A and B are shown apart, each in its own frame.
Chain A
């Protein structure tokens, strides 16, 4: 992909992000932050790319693997704690019925 089209992607992605969150009830600030934070662990894809392209370069494989570990720590932990937090709200609602 050319650099210019990547810039377009960046611009449109940012605009999308700005639009997605309008009014958020304060209740959800912490879960939302934690969920968005888990998504930022998408950099695991970059780590994967690095490992696949390393072609037997051991230091690069190690760096990629460590990077992948950090990213997955972020992703798995992030989604998990968000779910734990949100589970409390939904349990409340189902009790009601």
Chain B
């Protein structure tokens, strides 16, 4: 072994170690931020390692430098700008977009190698010579394309640019996806047989498969899908590692792939959904139309902001249940003002965080942290559920499915078995909501019909602002 090889070996080893420590550290609140920076450092280290290896062996042509610089500057710049500008509320779709681009990158590498087999140089770089290379190129293209189109569809659906087309809820979609899957298999084998031109067929059908699989999935399940696609992009990176013969890529890709799978499973558990039903079950609302879950509301009580303020003033203990609606209305800061007033009046305020509040697990914690809500006031579901019977007022803000008692009581409901917050146990429940529309799952919420539930209709931010005014009039928090 000569020096450049040894240096690269040591750097790669160090990078893998740091990446592993990074992923590990990211799963603990205390170490998460440093761990993220450690992983970022490991990534830069790996680039230095690779470039120094080539400088020490084959050298890097000026022309290559130019294209490296162009690609890096444009990619980094756009990534940094988007990451800086994007509001915390659109985190899930942002992660989806980044993830899709990672998949696209693996796809392009494999495509480049497949179309222009490079020969010469120090190593034998003619990739289409061995079966293994063909397989890894195909896998890289297949997984990369699914990751890319799947992530873009997921992003578009979360942004509301794309709705769920009706046909995707029927059995037709299984047929369509099977056709795409079989077509990609055919392209795959054709490619391995040496027919390079079928690479385009593979690109097209696997892209379509990514769309066909993601499109029918309901919004509520999107986080799980994004997490799964995240795992795929790791697999695509590992496959690209086989293509360019890089152990570092294989290790890092495999690690992300496996860790992503575990995270996907953890998320599924939180939502009481199996991965299979997420992927093949279609959206929840489609199932519910045939079940007893749907129906009309019979006993809705609506009340004014003033009444709500009066009840709050008299309370000793208040639990806030924030949901995505709160985030959409950008009302987390206004909410914080309301709770500050209540706290100044000696009222105990706690936030009940359902594991999947927001649109992604942990999303709500991020949003409330942004509004300076003290970390100890955020209570997880299992901790807070026994407290509801001793609670005077529950404020449900833009949450819906996670407070649906159907999940406990109605075994025919598609939500049945999903862990929910037992808000109905509290003395009074106020649901602040724009209208009577169903939640993300599209299922009727039995909570709204209960006698101790009152609806306060209006945009979350406006209602909360009015509430601040009413509380001021009552002299709450003016000490």
Contacts and interface: CB of A to CB of B under 8 A. Distances in A.
B370 interface: yes
A45 B50 contact: yes
Ranked 8 nearest A-B pairs via Cβ: A17-B258, A13-B254, A77-B79, A72-B75, A68-B71, A69-B75, A80-B83, A29-B361
Interface in B47-100: 47, 50-51, 54, 58, 60-61, 63-64, 67-68, 70-72, 74-76, 78-80, 82-84, 86, 88, 91-92, 94-95, 98-99
How many A residues touch the partner, as a band? 35 or more
Contacts of A82: 26, 36
Contacts of B101: 41, 70-71, 73-74
Given A1-B247, A65-B71, 20 more contacts: A6-B242, A17-B259, A26-B362, A27-B362, A28-B362, A30-B363, A34-B98, A37-B95, A37-B99, A43-B240, A48-B68, A51-B67, A51-B68, A61-B64, A64-B108, A70-B105, A72-B72, A77-B79, A81-B95, A93-B375
A73 B22 contact: no
B222 interface: no
Interface of B: 19-20, 22-24, 26-30, 32-33, 35-37, 39-40, 43, 46-47, 50-51, 54, 58, 60-61, 63-64, 67-68, 70-72, 74-76, 78-80, 82-84, 86, 88, 91-92, 94-95, 98-99, 101-102, 104-106, 108-109, 111-113, 115-116, 118, 120-121, 125, 132, 226-227, 230, 233-234, 236-238, 240-263, 266-267, 270, 353, 355, 360-363, 365-366, 369-370, 372, 374-375, 378, 380
Contacts of B263: 21, 24, 29, 32-33, 36
Nearest to B116: A60
Interface in A60-97: 60-93, 96
- Interface-centre pick from B98, B262, B363, B365 (highest chain A CB count, 10 A): B98
Interface string A1-44: 10100100111111111101111111111111111111111111
Contacts of A53: 118, 121, 125
A74 to B, nearest CB: 4
Contacts of A89: 29, 32-33, 365-366, 369, 375
A78 B353 CA distance: 25
Contacts of B29: 25, 27-28, 89
Contacts, number: 391
A61 B63 contact: yes
Nearest to B270: A26
Contacts of A9: 247, 250-251, 254
A49 B50 contact: yes
Interface of A: 1, 3, 6, 9-18, 20-57, 59-93, 96
A37 B230 CA distance: 6
7 contacts: A13-B250, A27-B378, A32-B23, A37-B230, A40-B253, A47-B105, A48-B50
Contacts of B380: 26
A30 B366 contact: yes
A75 to B, nearest CB: 6
A36 B256 contact: yes
Contacts of A51: 64, 67-68, 71
A36 B262 CA distance: 12
Given A37-B99, A46-B243, A14 B258 contact: yes
A46 B106 contact: yes
B98 to A, nearest CB: 5
Contacts of B109: 43, 46-47, 50, 64, 67
B252 A13 contact: yes
A13 B251 contact: yes
A46 to B, nearest CB: 4
Given A9-B247, A39-B43, A73 B76 contact: yes
A60 B91 contact: no
B39 A39 contact: yes
Contact of B36 (A1, A23, A31, A71): A31
A5 to B, nearest CB: 8
